[in-house]
Amino acid sequence: MTDVLSDLQARAIAAQTTDEDALRAALNGGSLTFYVGFDPTAPSIHMGNLVQVLVARRLQMAGHNPLMLVGGATGLIGDPRMSGERTLNDREVVEGWVEKIRSQIERFLDFDGPHAARMVNNLDWTKDISALDFLRDVGKHFSVNRMLAKEAVAARLKSEDGISFTEFAYQLLQGNDYLELHRRYGVTLQTGGSDQWGNLTSGVDLIRRVERKSVHAMSTRLITKADGTKFGKTESGTVWLDPSLTSPYAFSQFWLNSADADAPGYLRVFSLRPLDEIEDIIEQFQAEPHKRLVQRTLAEDVTTLVHGKEESDQAFAAAAALFGTGDLSELNPSTLGSALASLPNLEVDSSAITAGLSVADAFAGSGIVKSKGDARRAVKDGGAYINNERVSDAEVPLTGQQLLPIDGGSAALLRRGKRTLGAVIVRDN
């Protein structure tokens, strides 16, 4: 990749830069060292954070040197949000989250070779600074007028609760991080989301004032849906990269269910395929949108990238099996369990099966029909299935032979008609 900035712009990833021409010249003129930071405010990174990780990967592929910062210090504070003050987490919690996020990020980058990535923690250079030294050496270079103008700070000052000094001072910490990384490792570029622009430029200004040097900042646009709602959210909550928080099946379904208006843009941002190949896929999709080629490519690329090919294949096999074009028995218990848990379901313990839970009870209890009477009519009309096998009697009980193993129990897939799915989930006593 000879012009990585142009590629980022063509994918609609790059938003603002401190000096576009100077940054382009620096990126095209040889290897530079850059950093991107992640605050451990949760036990996992999410889809919005993945944008930054993939920007780092693209820059590394173009011959630049990544420093990935997980903020053990800034994570104790939290950057100001528009919505209000953050809850401060215990130090032990933050330390645990630092390690989890480090291990997640490490999978996406190369830590060997001429452009090896490095993981850093800003607690290493922040923990021993006294308040007096910090105010004299860092705070002296920040204008309160300029700090008040930052978007998040200005919004919070207008709110009823205002903003604490703790969060107001966050931009000093992030600015100091850039200065430290510039001194220690020669970092000359910081990247981050466009909502972080004020924090990004605080480091650029601090280095200019203290070191009398010019460095760069680049923001990436915030990914949103075509209707303006927040990207990376589902009815069940945030889409996380940790498989214990968002299963690989649910992760792949998030991409498969992308709206036609959103999916092409997501593919440009999240797929590592060359841009000309992506544009060819989008062109095919626009000619035959009903085939959902972009959504399928997106789901396969990103699920494989985040969870590996085996988990991606299992997630696609689960989707096929749920609708009768695959074999449920070939799914591993974890994938099957997460797939069925995402459906309307009736959860019982094993005593309910022993007591004789009927087909009608199961269908009505799962919510895929309104009543036992509706269940009986579905069976009579030939439109009721258990594990993709047609049911002929609504009053017979479910049997152990119909239950497939899942983590923590067993389950059966219910289907009414062609596409209305539900499940009975039997938990171990």
CATH number at residue 419: 3.10.290.10
Dihedral angle sign, alpha carbons of residues 282, 283, 284, 287: positive
**Region for residue 228 given its phi and psi (left: phi exceeds 0; alpha: psi -120 to 50; beta: otherwise):** left
Predicted pLDDT at 354: 77
Whether 336 is covered by a domain: the verdict is no
Q: Provide the angle, in degrees to the nearest 10, between the axes of the packed helices 263-270 and 293-307.
A: 30
In this prediction, the residues of the chain whose per-residue pLDDT falls under 70 are: 1-2
Predicted pLDDT at 172: 94
Whether 265 is covered by a domain: the verdict is yes
Strand partners, 65: 33
Whether 338 is covered by a domain: the verdict is no
Q: Provide the angle, in degrees to the nearest 10, between the axes of the packed helices 170-185 and 197-211.
A: 50
Amino acid (one-letter) located at 358: S
* Pair (213, 92) in one structural domain: yes
* Pair (248, 199) in one structural domain: no
Domain boundary, last residue among 156, 186, 220? 220
Question: Which residues, other chains included, contact 167 with Cβ-Cβ below 8 Å and sequence gap of 6+?
Answer: 77, 78, 79, 80, 85, 86, 156
Question: Which residues, other chains included, contact 203 with Cβ-Cβ below 8 Å and sequence gap of 6+?
Answer: 174, 175, 176, 177, 178, 179, 190, 215, 217
Predicted pLDDT at 47: 92
Whether 356 is covered by a domain: the verdict is yes
Predicted pLDDT at 17: 97
* Pair (40, 100) in one structural domain: yes
Separation in Å, CA 384 to CA 261, 377, 413: 34, 9, 11
Question: Which residues, other chains included, contact 355 with Cβ-Cβ below 8 Å and sequence gap of 6+?
Answer: none
Whether 367 is covered by a domain: the verdict is yes
* Pair (270, 382) in one structural domain: no
How far from chain centre, in Å, is Cα 249?
14
* Pair (242, 142) in one structural domain: no
Q: What is the tally of structural domains in the chain?
A: 3
For the chain, what is the largest distance between any 2 Cα atoms, rounded to a whole number of angstroms?
82
Q: Which residues are annotated as a binding site for L-tyrosine?
A: 35, 170, 174
CA Rg value for the chain:
26
* Pair (41, 100) in one structural domain: yes
CATH number of the domain at 308, please.
1.10.240.10
Do residues 239 and 270 touch, judged by C-beta distance below 8 A? no
DSSP 8-state assignment for residue 217: E
CATH number of the domain at 100, please.
3.40.50.620
Amino acid (one-letter) located at 298: L
* Pair (406, 278) in one structural domain: no
* Pair (59, 185) in one structural domain: yes
Whether 164 is covered by a domain: the verdict is yes
DSSP 8-state assignment for residue 389: E
* Pair (50, 186) in one structural domain: yes
Report the C-alpha gap between 281 and 388 in whole angstroms.
33
Predicted pLDDT at 324: 83
Q: Which residues are annotated as a binding site?
A: 35, 170, 174, 233
pLDDT, tens digit (0-9, with 9 covering 90-100), for 96-129: 999 999 999 999 999 999 999 999 999 999 999 9
* Pair (78, 170) in one structural domain: yes
* Pair (262, 212) in one structural domain: no
Q: How many CB atoms lie within 10 A of CB 48?
A: 18
Q: How many CB atoms lie within 10 A of CB 215?
A: 26
Give the strand pairing for 384-386 and 345-349.
Answer: unpaired
Whether 386 is covered by a domain: the verdict is yes
Whether 383 is covered by a domain: the verdict is yes
DSSP 8-state assignment for residue 70: E
Domain boundary, last residue among 293, 325, 357? 325
Do residues 85 and 91 touch, judged by C-beta distance below 8 A? no
Domain boundary, last residue among 220, 242, 272? 220
For residue 359, give its domain range: 343-428
Q: Count Cβ neighbours within 10 Å for each residue of 200-209 and write b for 16 or more, e otherwise.
A: bbbbbbbbee
Predicted pLDDT at 2: 67
* Pair (348, 397) in one structural domain: yes
Phi, psi of 189 (to 5 degrees): -145, 135
Report the C-alpha gap between 230 and 44 in whole angstroms.
18
Do residues 394 and 298 touch, judged by C-beta distance below 8 A? no
Do residues 43 and 242 touch, judged by C-beta distance below 8 A? yes
pTM: 0.90
